[in-house]
Copies of this chain bind each other. A is one copy, B any other.
């Protein structure tokens, strides 16, 4: 069995957990706190970033970009060991695939920088680090909430005009987006009712079997928002 090194509220780790479940690969999971810079972890991935996928064959894949493209190629190949019908992570014409990747970049790049990482620093890492400030900075939190509304408006616009965020079928763009929103939602910072198309798109993803393990996750010392695991939120 492959092994995934990840952190429960790391959005990139979560996107890969969704992708693994959608293509039908079971993995063993190992928890890592990347900010501790453990020597053993740096030996696994010198970039010090999550997630890391160690394959049964001894190879190590580092980072959401390399792993997602690996899984996409694997799901499209004709390998014998594939069970069932893996969901393709990217599909359609090469222009359609470029649109799916544009949105992956949006969520794993722009949304991550402007919201998810900032919010995790303010609301999660503070609980986990011994000497970090416990109370979130109100100005920072206000700026993050403004950014959340901008990003939610964009997701709402995409979900309103398309079946899935990048087009007619689910792609890794939906998984990347849902991975980030699930972290933000754990902390209770998504105003779902203001963005009905985004909410109904997220409800569809949330009810997929691939999402179950994420909804069952709990961070010690940080309770999830009441709607977090509720399929009727």
Contacts and interface: CB of A to CB of B under 8 A. Distances in A.
A74 interface: yes
Contact of A98 (B61, B104, B106): B61
A52 to B, nearest CB: 10
A118 interface: no
Contacts of A61: 95, 98, 102
Q: Please tell me how many copies of the chain the complex holds.
A: 2
A94 B71 CA distance: 9
A184 to B, nearest CB: 19
A82 to B, nearest CB: 13
A59 B95 contact: yes
Contacts of A219: none
A77 B94 CA distance: 10
Interface string A89-109: 000001101110110111001
A65 B72 CA distance: 15
21 contacts: A46-B154, A47-B109, A49-B109, A59-B95, A59-B98, A62-B102, A62-B105, A63-B105, A65-B104, A65-B105, A66-B99, A66-B101, A66-B102, A66-B105, A67-B98, A69-B69, A69-B98, A70-B94, A70-B101, A73-B94, A77-B94
